[in-house]
Structure 1
């Protein structure tokens, strides 16, 4: 049953990542990968809420599998982040490559901590 929940979550997360990435990137005339950055930060926030909710026994294991592993696993993308960073280096826009790494890690961690704080507010 858990595997089916992960598959269902991923079936929603993967197309959502593609559509969100394209929509965000279409609004920015920049070589910076705003679409990937956005989905990774949003996914980190959602995962922060879910992980803290699960630790507080407020989020059932099935929901964690569906939304955490499935949806967030397919929504976020480390491989695209890595590829786009290398592409920026190859295109000789090193400042954007460094910004992508620093901002993605910082914002991702910050979003996860904000998600944890939201979960703490929801389930004291």
Structure 2
């Protein structure tokens, strides 16, 4: 049953990723992958929060698997970030480095903020 729930959560995460990415492209254009950046940074925040809440026994390990492996696994996307970085580098290497740096830095800060938020709750 847990495998089915992880799969369903992963499907919901993928749909959420698609919808947010599509919305951000519509809102901000396609010259820079804002959608993927926002998705990966927000996913980093939420995975930090999920693990902190699990550590404090506010979430069960089973729910952690469903949320982190399932939903957030489907929601965040390393492969798309990698592909977009290569595409940016083909036209503007500095923009590609900015994207990779921003994703990494903000992702790490977001995980830390998620953990801190979970400890605060």
Q: Same fold (TM over 0.5)?
A: yes
1:112 aligns with 2:111: yes
Q: In 1, Cα distance between the equivalents of 2:53 and 2:95?
A: 35
Q: CA deviation at 1:56?
A: 2.1
Match in the other structure for 1:88 = 88
More displaced 10-residue stretch of structure 1: 67-76 or 56-65: 56-65
Match in the other structure for 1:63 = 63
Q: Deviations over 1:32-83 (max 9, x none)?
A: 1000001101111110000111122221022112211101000000000000
Say which SS state the counterpart of residue 28 (structure 2) adopts: coil
Q: In 1, Cα distance between the equivalents of 2:43 and 2:107?
A: 8
Match in the other structure for 1:97 = 96
CA contact (8 A) 1:5 1:65 kept: no
Q: CA RMSD in A?
A: 1.1
Q: CA deviation at 1:101?
A: 0.6
Q: Deviations over 1:6-27 (max 9, x none)?
A: 1011110001100100101211
Q: In 1, Cα distance between the equivalents of 2:119 and 2:50?
A: 11
1:1-124 equivalence runs, <5 A? 1-91=1-91, 93-122=92-121
TM-score, structure 2 as length reference: 0.95
- Point out where structure 1 has 5 or more consecutive residues left out of the alignment: none
- Point out where structure 2 has 5 or more consecutive residues left out of the alignment: none
Q: Which contiguous aligned blocks of 4+ residues in structure 1 show a shift greater than 6 angstroms? A: none
TM-score, structure 1 as length reference: 0.92
How many residues align? The count is 121
